[in-house]
Amino acid sequence: MEVWLVNGNVAQEDANIVSYSAGAMARNATLRQREYQYEALTRSDQTGANGDPSMLTRAADEDAQASLQHVVLTYSPVGGRRLFVNGRDTGDVDAQGGGSLRDWDDTFALVLGNETSNNRQWTGIMRLAAVHSRALTPEQILQNFEAGVGERYFLLFNVSHLVDVPQAYLMFEASQLDSYGYLFEKPTFISLDGSAQVPNIPLAGIRLGVNGVEAKSGQAYVPLNVTVDASNYVAGAGQKFTDHGTVVPVEKGAESDLFFLSFEQIGSHSHARTEGPPVVADPVPDALIPAESDIGLRTFDELNMSLSNITGVPVTNPAVMGTYQLVKQALPTTEKLGTFGPAQQTGVAQLAIQYCNQMVQDDTRRDNFFGAINLGTPASSFFAGPGRNQVINALLAKGSGTGLATQPNNEIATELNALIDRLTAGAAGSQAGRTAVVITASCATVLGSAATLVQ
């Protein structure tokens, strides 16, 4: 089974992505999500009728993410089940080994995103699903991952009016990476006139624009400083400048977004654009123009720096860096409020949890943030005394800001008190290490909220 997908969140459990089955207790094969893990159930003569015991990826690896991923489940009679995420073997071993598939039932149904009994709902976006007749090799899986998913286009930007070459274009390979971004790669100068003579053409500072405005992020080609020349140009293929790719935010969607290029230099021209002269339209009455929002989202890099500044944990912290790279695609790429979605909230929460965990586990940073705290005190005792206000007040002051008319401190404090009550209730309040867990959860609740995300 091969899938390109975007998990809707990393909280869903027993969520069937692809299932060849007859209900919750009978199947041939199923690929499902269990929070941060992927789970494979495959029926053989070595398992039960439900494919048990299942094979789970390691929880600590957090292989399942709320971002675009390529996931492959393979099975062989010798090695059994293997899972691959983004072209790489997860390294998890099938304890059952291989076995025969002779007991498979060909009357079972193939279901995407659920179970035939309709009680194993998976939420997310599925870009591609394929069932192969034989196990793909690791090389084939890596090849499919590198090929990407979805329609791929050659976008040609006409530069004939800027250089002395007929039918001259700057060409990109482009595809929609996920719901939030377009992938541009392999910028190439090419003429569609096979007999064209190509002189030396200096080219520097390429910027991508969307809907009349240069993109605020994804400008990976600004440092480019190259020369198109006859010795490197190949008729029919052009001259490629770099294999590097970049991601530009989706605005209106693939059906409506329009792209252009600008250059710091192209040929003898400076600060040139690929589009023609602007058309001057009649002025629109102010009453018809939607008001710009006074607030917006922090983008992925702004959010990362904000969490670092608040907690005192550097962005170079290995654990933070690892989480940031995992969730970066799921974080906001544009400041517009209307672009915010559930997958982004999940990514924000994951990053906030990691920053808070690293801060709470570091004695110096924890004391700088909260003041002196003894994590050895049972949570039920610590939060029954002044420790509760010590934690809440520090989070309000540093994570939300006090004395601000736009920050509802009372409401935040109420939510934190309710959270602490739930996490310290009953026997849980006396568990070893529970105080650190509750402080981390409270911290992540504030730092992963709109108090940090909205600006």
Shared domain check, 316 and 268: no
* Residue 308 confidence (pLDDT): 92
Q: How many domains does the chain have?
A: 3
- Asked if residue 280 is part of any domain, the answer here is no
Mutual angle of helices 434-447 and 409-424, in 10-degree steps: 150
CA torsion angle for 216, 446, 342, 124 (degrees, to 10)? 120
Choose one of 122, 147, 172: the last residue of a domain. Answer: 147
* Residue 408 confidence (pLDDT): 67
- Asked if residue 398 is part of any domain, the answer here is yes
- Asked if residue 285 is part of any domain, the answer here is no
> How many CB atoms lie under 10 A from the CB of residue 22?
18
* Residue 277 confidence (pLDDT): 41
Low-confidence ranges of the chain (pLDDT < 70): 150, 273-292, 338-339, 341-343, 402-408
CATH number at residue 108: 2.60.120.200
Shared domain check, 425 and 306: yes
Shared domain check, 346 and 438: yes
Q: 146: closest CA among 110, 94, 109, 183?
A: 183
* Residue 382 confidence (pLDDT): 94
Pairwise CA distance, residues 14 & 55, whole Å: 13
Q: In this structure, are residues 410 and 393 in contact, taking their beta carbons and an 8 Å threshold?
A: no
Question: Could you tell me the sign of the dihedral formed by the alpha carbons of 94, 95, 99, 103, in that order?
Answer: negative
Mapping DSSP to helix (H, G, I), strand (E, B) and coil, where does residue 100 land?
A: coil
Q: 393: which residues sit within 8 A by CB, 6+ positions away? A: none
Shared domain check, 235 and 128: no
The amino acid at residue 91 is G
Choose one of 125, 147, 169: the last residue of a domain. Answer: 147
Number of residues in the chain = 455
Residue 251 phi/psi, 5° resolution?
Answer: -110, -75
Shared domain check, 307 and 173: no
Angstrom CA distances, 17 to 39, 51, 66, 188, 426, stand at 10, 15, 14, 38, 36
Shared domain check, 178 and 94: no
Shared domain check, 94 and 43: yes
- Asked if residue 267 is part of any domain, the answer here is yes
* 179: alpha, beta or left? (left if phi > 0; alpha if psi -120 to 50): alpha
Shared domain check, 268 and 199: yes
Shared domain check, 448 and 308: yes
Residues of the domain holding 244:
152-273
Shared domain check, 441 and 362: yes
Tell me: the pLDDT tens digits for 358-413? 999 999 999 999 999 999 999 999 999 999 999 999 998 888 876 666 666 778 88
- Asked if residue 132 is part of any domain, the answer here is yes
Q: In this structure, are residues 66 and 9 in contact, taking their beta carbons and an 8 Å threshold?
A: yes
- Asked if residue 289 is part of any domain, the answer here is no
- Asked if residue 167 is part of any domain, the answer here is yes
- Asked if residue 294 is part of any domain, the answer here is no
Shared domain check, 440 and 307: yes
Q: 261: closest CA among 329, 196, 205?
A: 205
Q: In this structure, are residues 209 and 193 in contact, taking their beta carbons and an 8 Å threshold?
A: no
* Residue 283 confidence (pLDDT): 57
The amino acid at residue 87 is G
Choose one of 128, 147, 166: the last residue of a domain. Answer: 147
Pairwise CA distance, residues 161 & 406, whole Å: 52
Shared domain check, 100 and 34: yes
* Residue 444 confidence (pLDDT): 92
- Per the prediction, the chain carries an average pLDDT of 88
